[in-house]
Structure 1
């Protein structure tokens, strides 16, 4: 499985733990593989690819990023490298393209499936980008955008001795601490939610909710102001006020701005 020359891989994935897991699996499969960069969103990826057009030979690309579908990258810059898409959804549309040189793997990652995808890449590596691959990807983007994802609209939450329905639109922010997730409503009521932030990030409408950092998911209507903070970070103030500072890392700032401007 080892290549004759080190393989440079670009990972486009908005969840740091998931990206590191993929990097670990890749380097277990072949220690000669190096990761050129890990990028969290569409805007960062477009910028990096424009500045480093030949810095990698293969891209692992999550489909649904915080600031949009990763297919949007292809509409904003030229991608010459083969792409292996990564998704938590078994999108039917992807299956039609797998036979045409565009591969995909499902989350959670399976080392054997990733190994097979790498083998497929190496079989076709000398042939350059598949003919018409860019057009196929853009067509696939249109198909997936036409789908209406069934984002979560409500939660059943425990309140005293009852279960109450809580609409997602009523939630200002989600916060996790000690592996417990709390949802805070605009009325400043807090409820325990039986999901992790990673699960919520996949289930909530990305137009309304943004993964600010490892502890917070915030709703657009809750954002009252955004202040500059140390080291290129942003401090988000919400109403109701959060239990801790909500900081956007320097790397996440472009995705946050794109979300707020959308």
Structure 2
């Protein structure tokens, strides 16, 4: 059960409000009733200056000065609402006004517990969704700010040759040696492992196809369906070995090509 839950009650019957407060605190002693509001006018005035001090609203629908839905049309309320009412003909209006549940009077402990558990489930799902969004945003920011390798300084025949990363069509490892292949057919040894290259190369352009290959998107000619959900990738210049994408990586590879 959510701890330190701050609740606002909108109810014009004092006995009903006291009963609801008693049940809520019996279910969870850490529940705090911020305020009990008895009318539309009182509620509108309070929410205008206190809209971020609570977590959840329990609201009757028929109040002494009208329907509580008017509160939501007159002031901005972003928190969820559980409507508690003796009438069952306002369900659609309730769910149009931040309603997450609809409890009919006379209510009991089990009914209030059920609706609080529903609130907890919704909040947990929302937190998980926000965490996922945050993780995705951090991932995007990391890629946006990271400085990927733009060139390699190759040792070749007693010389140092600078080669732009974009001109390397693919990397291949054999016998613990990593080779870089260029579009014109030239190949050079690079002093990196494929694991190191994965961290240094921009993932928008380079993909770790399997244990032997990292390929440049510009080098891909065609992709064919292979056995058991795998993919066969044809690149240029054509390597001696086939490049097979595993079933586990196939979806990520297709998304990468389709960016």
After TM superposition, the score normalised by the length of structure 1 is: 0.48
After TM superposition, the score normalised by the length of structure 2 is: 0.48
Q: Which of the pair has more CA radius of gyration?
A: 2
